[in-house]
Structure 1
Amino acid sequence: MITRDLDAFFASARQCADDFGPATARAAFLVSPDGFSFAAQSASDNRYMAEAASFDAEAALHEHRALQMALREELPVIAFAGSADTPDAVFPNNVFATAPGKLVVGRMRHAVRQREARRDDIRAFFTGTLGYAETDLSQQPHPCELTGALVIDRARGLGFCGLSERCDERGAALMHAAFGLRATLMFDLKPGEYHLNVLLAILAGRAALVAPNGFADARTAAAIADFYAPHAIMLTDAEQAAFAANAISLGENSVWMSAGAARALTPATRAALATAGFGVRSVALEALEAAGGSLRCCVAEIF
């Protein structure tokens, strides 16, 4: 099922057991910020990006190295080199994503990011080294920026797809099929929001961080929160602006976010995460966040 109908989606979702697959990834890969710089095309529809003068490539490299070191305490981490030709490649989850035994390559909206999909080394790592089958969506015309636009409950096989200039309905349908999901809910983001994963995080299939003000229809955010109750956490505007929703669980008992996001958490949010069984892990990412994304965007999951 892929639908915009809230009632139909959640009626189906409530019948889905948490037996679709592992709730968290078995490894992760990153792309280093070599050539990290301001990309004007990306800035045209990403309000979170800083001005070009705020980009500090050396600081970004140091932060990214610290991120790799921190994440490897939780799971295996692979880092590919970046390139000056792909200044946004530090956010690989928009371009490459996996399901067990499968690599999915997305179709980016902007030409500067479409270059990333042509990385033969990343493709070869999955298809040749790991033996994954490849589903290549990069050559069709509909934008579908993978786990930037599509937040997946991996335990239940459910997709939540925020539609914007970075993902249209046909792109959502292509991703739904590529990941083999049981049900996907499509809905519009507010104008000015580019990716759902700065507004919603599903944590190990049992909790959700929801930033309601980024949804075009408040009923959608409320319905998602109701589905993940009692462990649905509604974020304040300040928490969302600090990228608190751009978080990820890479294990059953932890949630990773940037240090800035962690500082912005209210006592109530911290308490709710603890009640859901999650400890907060954070890494300083101020330089990388100038590019308009945060920790979750830096992490491409390997299932």
Structure 2
Amino acid sequence: MITRDPAAFADAFRRAPADLPACAKAAFLVAPEGFALAEQSARDNAYMAMNAAVDPRRALAQHRALQAALSEELPVPCFPGDPAAPDGLFPNNVFGTAPGRLVIGHMRHPVRRREAERADIRAFFTGVLGYDVVDLRGQPGICELTGALVIDRARGLGFCGLSERCDEAGAVAMHAAFGLRATLVSELAPGEYHTNVVMSVLAGQALVLCPAGFADPAVPAALAGLYAPAVIELDAGQKAAFAGNCIALSPRRAWFSAAGAAALRPDQHAILARAGLAVAEVPLDEIEKAGGSLRCCVAEIF
């Protein structure tokens, strides 16, 4: 079911058993080789610090520290980056997975479409893992995968925010590609480019969201009701610090950038603790100049 009706989606949520793997079995990263800011992406990504100087060595060091930290929980291979694809360190927008399937997204900007051409990542999934490929580049809809689509993996449910980076046709294509039971589709607020900056579902146990990130306030209100009391509502400052761009790679821990974790209030830390999730953090301030944070760097493998 794909719907714009929060009430219909709430009914599907209540009927959906949490009987699927809530967290990935592995993840992969792409190194920020020749780290730079992509001018094309800045056209619709207001989080990019286009007037800031960037330090490629520092970005690479932070990225290596991220890989080392996440490797405490699950295998995290890292593919080499390509200076001609400066947004390549955010692979979750281009590559996604469902059990046995690699999904390739249809990117809006040409500079990002280069990433989907990578033979090494495709060969890893087809030749090493034996996955089938679902390539969405040939269909008409723009769909930047788990940037635009936040998935409650435990329940098989999707939350798709429409923007320049995802349209209605793209939402339909992703719903099918990921094999979801139900997907709620709604517009993001003007100026927002990806859903995973304003919202995250953590291991099916907790919800982090910024209500101001949605065009229709009824949507975040409905979602908060579904996950209550394990809900963290972010203000605009916390969202800007990338507190919404977080991920759980196990049922025990939620990963934030250092800026995102620092932006959380003590009561919000307590909400996560009651949901069984400890907060872990990694400094990523150099990488965040490119308009994405920790969750954007992580491509999950289910």
TM bracket, shorter-chain basis? over 0.9
User: TM-score normalized by structure 1?
Assistant: 0.98
SS of the residue corresponding to residue 48 of structure 1 reads coil
Give yes or no for the alignment of 1:4 onto 2:11. Answer: no
Structure 2 letter corresponding to 1:154: R
1: CA distance, partners of 2:283 / 2:213: 24
Structure 2 residue aligned with 1:192: 191
Structure 1 residue aligned with 2:299: 300
**What is the 5 A alignment of 1:160-199?**
160-199=159-198
Structure 1 letter corresponding to 2:2: I
Give yes or no for the alignment of 1:243 onto 2:242. Answer: yes
Which 4+ residue blocks in structure 1 deviate beyond 4 angstroms? none
The Cα of 1:5 is off from its aligned counterpart by 1.1
Structure 2 residue aligned with 1:14: 14
Structure 2 residue aligned with 1:208: 207
Whether the 8 Å CA contact 1:25–1:301 is kept in 2: the answer is yes
Structure 1 letter corresponding to 2:125: F
Whether the 8 Å CA contact 2:49–2:289 is kept in 1: the answer is yes
Q: Give 5+ residue unaligned stretches, structure 2.
A: none
The Cα of 1:35 is off from its aligned counterpart by 2.0
Whether the 8 Å CA contact 1:37–1:52 is kept in 2: the answer is no
The Cα of 1:152 is off from its aligned counterpart by 0.2
1: CA distance, partners of 2:77 / 2:169: 32
Structure 2 letter corresponding to 1:141: P
1: CA distance, partners of 2:234 / 2:53: 27
SS of the residue corresponding to residue 43 of structure 1 reads helix
Structure 1 residue aligned with 2:38: 39
1: CA distance, partners of 2:263 / 2:11: 35
| Identical residues among aligned pairs (%) | 62
Give yes or no for the alignment of 1:222 onto 2:208. Answer: no
Whether the 8 Å CA contact 2:202–2:247 is kept in 1: the answer is yes
The Cα of 1:52 is off from its aligned counterpart by 5.0
Structure 1 letter corresponding to 2:134: T
User: TM-score normalized by structure 2?
Assistant: 0.99
| Cα deviation code 1:58-99 (max 9, x no counterpart) | 110000000011110111101000011100000000000101
The Cα of 1:141 is off from its aligned counterpart by 2.8
Give yes or no for the alignment of 1:126 onto 2:157. Answer: no
The Cα of 1:268 is off from its aligned counterpart by 1.3
Structure 2 letter corresponding to 1:27: A
Whether the 8 Å CA contact 2:52–2:289 is kept in 1: the answer is no
Structure 1 residue aligned with 2:289: 290
Whether the 8 Å CA contact 2:23–2:203 is kept in 1: the answer is yes
1: CA distance, partners of 2:265 / 2:235: 8
Larger displacement relative to structure 2 (260-269 or 103-112): 260-269
SS of the residue corresponding to residue 107 of structure 1 reads coil
Whether the 8 Å CA contact 1:235–1:269 is kept in 2: the answer is no
2: CA distance, partners of 1:25 / 1:136: 21
| Cα deviation code 1:108-132 (max 9, x no counterpart) | 0000000000001000100111000
The Cα of 1:13 is off from its aligned counterpart by 1.6
